[in-house]
């Protein structure tokens, strides 16, 4: 069983690292460059708005279902027939609140037309995640791994044909949305047929059991609140940019070009947390000490996070100019301004990765320990702080102000989570580790600065910077090959 888990975890990591970065850096970036910053920013703001009430589509049901199906496989048919009814009801609730909010903030007809399809995409994605929770609960890890990249694979094919196949005269942002709808719809259908097959039901019927559904909602409600709060303070930035600035769509596009890259990087930390959650949960239940594993996990994730964040900060201009060249019809002055602004935003947002990586470790531990009340208080405080900072900074500093608000919020949330974990688990302060962390952080900054003075192309300098920073981490024993081996071995036990 342990070997099967590790093998399928590796498969999940490999597939996601192959497909999803290509989607973000290949397709999504090409779409941004093709339609331009303003049109993409217009889409990105509406896209993030559709995310704000996304939790209404799930209410924590996916996690509830995963756990219960894993413990009681025979309940699959009963749960499936009832929860699908609930998912449809939640979709109607989500549509009502989302469009009521859109009318309240005076969305235009064009924005509303985009929102129709983006809201549908949110439902399809939520539906896929719920169906996948059944596959995970049945321990069909390989099937789940393949489904996890099916939607993006289909979207890559569709968008590639539309962009490079001369199928359309001019690629519009709506084609990009339609491609997502098609990818999600096909994946949802395939996953539904698979789940029906494993439920061993040839004739499937929906069922309505109000007490049963009410019990599910009650048990999943604290998690739903947490996700809602985190969604708000992670996704509201571009919405506020578009609403608060006269040229909001343009600045939202600048912000989106940097945020998409942060999204791609966060995927690694998320998959790391997927491994840690069941390990932490088991150790907490058995009253085992989590101190060593916590330190080990944090070290392994903060080491690449520091290197990536500092490299992105020092080489932000070169990276953004490489990824987002001049658009058709864009003047040289407008291009340089866009790169200058997006570089500043990119450097600040990627610095957030250190804080986000930290929350994936300490927040996962608090989740495994059932401390949802603490997490909700922290998330609510982060949301309020982020909104206030955005209101204050966006009118003055535009997209850069929003990035500063995110940076401050993410680091404050990370620090508070660390403090809560230390208090709840009575963890001592490891002064030696803190000293190594400070030395590594300062040393990596120094290496990054010196690397820019090398007489080589910037790409070579960036690689040299990464190698030297990793060597520093090994030299001061921030991380070791033996440590990595122990984590893999522990995960398989």
How far apart are the C-alpha atoms of 431 and 127, rounded to whole Å? 46
Q: Are residues 339 and 488 in the same domain?
A: yes
- Cα distances from 75 to residues 53, 68, 346, 374, in angstroms, run 29, 8, 47, 32
Q: Are residues 170 and 247 in the same domain?
A: no
pLDDT band at 97 (very low <50, low <70, confident <90, very high): very high
Q: Is residue 420 part of a domain?
A: yes
Q: Are residues 356 and 333 in the same domain?
A: yes
Q: Is residue 22 part of a domain?
A: no
Phi, psi (5° rounding) for residue 369? -85, -5
Tokens of 357: 């990586």
How far apart are the C-alpha atoms of 53 and 63, rounded to whole Å? 18
pLDDT at 72: 66
- Cα distances from 253 to residues 110, 241, 339, 360, in angstroms, run 17, 10, 12, 27
How far apart are the C-alpha atoms of 58 and 66, rounded to whole Å? 13
Q: Where are the alpha helices (DSSP H) in 23-108?
A: 29-35, 37-52, 61-71, 76-104
Residue among 107, 114, 100, 103 at smallest CA distance from 56: 100
Instruction: Kindly report the average pLDDT of the chain as a whole number.
Output: 81
How far apart are the C-alpha atoms of 181 and 208, rounded to whole Å? 28
Q: Are residues 190 and 229 in the same domain?
A: no
How far apart are the C-alpha atoms of 64 and 219, rounded to whole Å? 8
Q: Is residue 476 part of a domain?
A: yes
Complete DSSP assignment for 451-480: HTTSSS-HHHHHHHHHHHHHHHHHHTTS--
pLDDT at 447: 94
Mean pLDDT of 338-361: 88
Q: Is residue 358 part of a domain?
A: yes
How far apart are the C-alpha atoms of 69 and 204, rounded to whole Å? 18
Q: Are residues 299 and 426 in the same domain?
A: yes
Tokens of 374: 């603490």
Could you identify the residue written with the tokens 């201009």? Answer: 317
Under 8 Å between Cβ of 87 and 57: yes
Q: Is residue 10 part of a domain?
A: no
Q: For 372-397, write each residue's pLDDT tens digit.
A: 788 889 988 988 898 899 889 888 88
Could you identify the residue written with the tokens 């963890």? Answer: 427
How far apart are the C-alpha atoms of 480 and 476, rounded to whole Å? 10
Under 8 Å between Cβ of 297 and 276: yes
The radius of gyration computed from the CA coordinates of the chain, to the nearest angstrom, equals 23
Tokens of 257: 């070009």
Q: Which of 208, 234, 261 is the last residue of a domain?
A: 208
pLDDT at 251: 77
Q: Is residue 363 part of a domain?
A: yes
pLDDT band at 139 (very low <50, low <70, confident <90, very high): low
Q: What percent of the chain has pLDDT over 70?
A: 86
pLDDT at 279: 67
Helix (H) or strand (E) holding 143: helix 141-164
Under 8 Å between Cβ of 240 and 327: no
Task: Give the three-state DSSP class for 286.
Answer: coil
Q: Which of 178, 208, 238 is the last residue of a domain?
A: 208
Query: What is the domain count for the chain?
Result: 2
Q: Is residue 27 part of a domain?
A: no
pLDDT band at 122 (very low <50, low <70, confident <90, very high): very high
Residue among 359, 47, 342 at smallest CA distance from 173: 47
Residue among 248, 318, 324 at smallest CA distance from 28: 324
Residue 483 pLDDT > 60: no
Q: Are residues 72 and 174 in the same domain?
A: yes
**Of the candidate ranges 22-31, 361-370, 456-465, 466-475, the one whose mean pLDDT is the lowest:** 22-31
Q: For 42-89, write each residue's pLDDT tens digit.
A: 787 788 788 778 878 887 787 667 656 655 676 677 777 778 888 888
Task: Give the three-state DSSP class for 201.
Answer: coil
Q: Is residue 315 part of a domain?
A: yes
Q: Are residues 260 and 186 in the same domain?
A: no
Q: For 256-287, write each residue's pLDDT tens digit.
A: 778 877 877 887 777 777 666 656 766 776 77
Q: Are residues 183 and 327 in the same domain?
A: no
Q: Are residues 287 and 165 in the same domain?
A: no
Q: Angle at Cα 107 formed by Cα 105 and Cα 111, nearest 5°?
A: 145
Tokens of 248: 């909001």
Q: Are residues 184 and 251 in the same domain?
A: no
Q: Are residues 80 and 226 in the same domain?
A: no
Residue 492 pLDDT > 50: no
pLDDT band at 92 (very low <50, low <70, confident <90, very high): very high
Q: Are residues 279 and 424 in the same domain?
A: yes
Tokens of 166: 């001369």
What range defines the domain where residue 366 resides?
222-493
Q: For 403-438, write each residue's pLDDT tens digit.
A: 899 899 999 999 999 999 998 888 888 888 889 999
Question: Could you say which DSSP state residue 1 is in?
Answer: -
Q: How many CB atoms lie within 10 A of CB 306?
A: 23
How far apart are the C-alpha atoms of 329 and 447, rounded to whole Å? 39
How far apart are the C-alpha atoms of 255 and 259, rounded to whole Å? 6
């Amino acid at each position: 069983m342990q070997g099967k888990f590790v093998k399928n975890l590796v498969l999940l990591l490999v597939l996601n690292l192959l497909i999803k970065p290509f989607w973000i850096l290949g397709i999504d970036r090409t779409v941004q460059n093709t339609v331009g910053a303003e049109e993409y920013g217009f889409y990105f703001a509406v896209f993030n708005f559709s995310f704000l009430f996304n939790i209404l589509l799930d209410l924590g049901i996916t996690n509830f279902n995963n756990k219960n199906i894993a413990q009681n496989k025979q309940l699959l048919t009963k749960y499936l027939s009832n929860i699908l009814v609930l998912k449809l009801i939640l979709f109607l609730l989500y549509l009502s609140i989302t469009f009521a909010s859109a009318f309240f903030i005076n969305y235009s007809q064009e924005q509303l037309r985009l929102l129709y399809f983006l809201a549908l995409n949110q439902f399809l994605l939520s539906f896929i995640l719920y169906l996948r929770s059944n596959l995970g609960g049945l321990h069909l890890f390989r099937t789940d791994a393949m489904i996890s990249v099916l939607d993006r694979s289909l979207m890559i094919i569709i968008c590639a044909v539309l962009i490079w196949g001369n199928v359309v005269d001019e690629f519009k942002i709506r084609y990009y949305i339609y491609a997502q709808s098609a990818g999600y719809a096909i994946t949802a259908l395939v996953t539904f047929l698979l789940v029906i097959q494993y439920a061993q039901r040839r004739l499937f019927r929906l069922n309505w059991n109000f007490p049963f559904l009410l019990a599910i909602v009650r048990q999943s409600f604290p998690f739903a609140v947490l996700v809602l709060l985190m969604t708000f303070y992670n996704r509201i930035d571009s919405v506020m940019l578009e609403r608060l600035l006269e040229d909001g769509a343009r600045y939202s596009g600048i912000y989106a070009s940097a945020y998409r890259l942060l999204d791609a990087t966060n995927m690694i930390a998320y998959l790391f947390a997927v491994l840690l959650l069941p390990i932490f949960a088991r150790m907490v239940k058995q009253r085992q000490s989590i101190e060593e594993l916590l330190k080990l996990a944090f070290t392994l994730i903060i080491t690449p996070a520091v290197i990536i964040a500092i490299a992105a900060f020092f080489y932000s201009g070169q990276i953004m100019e490489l990824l987002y060249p001049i658009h058709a019809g864009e003047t040289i002055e407008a291009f340089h301004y866009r790169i200058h602004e997006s570089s500043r935003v990119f450097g600040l947002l990627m610095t957030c990765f250190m804080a986000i990586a930290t929350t994936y470790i300490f927040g996962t531990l608090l989740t495994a320990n059932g401390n949802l009340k603490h997490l909700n208080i922290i998330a609510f405080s982060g949301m309020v702080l982020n909104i206030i900072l955005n209101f204050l900074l966006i009118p003055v500093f535009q997209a850069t102000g929003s990035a500063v608000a995110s940076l401050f919020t993410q680091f404050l949330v990370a620090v508070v989570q660390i403090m809560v974990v230390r208090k709840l688990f009575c963890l001592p302060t490891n002064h030696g580790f803190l000293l190594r962390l400070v030395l590594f952080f300062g040393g990596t900054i120094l290496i990054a600065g010196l690397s820019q003075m090398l007489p080589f192309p910037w790409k070579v300098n960036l690689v040299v910077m990464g190698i030297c920073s990793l060597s520093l981490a090994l030299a001061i024993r921030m991380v070791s090959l033996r440590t990595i081996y122990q984590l893999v071995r522990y995960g398989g036990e």
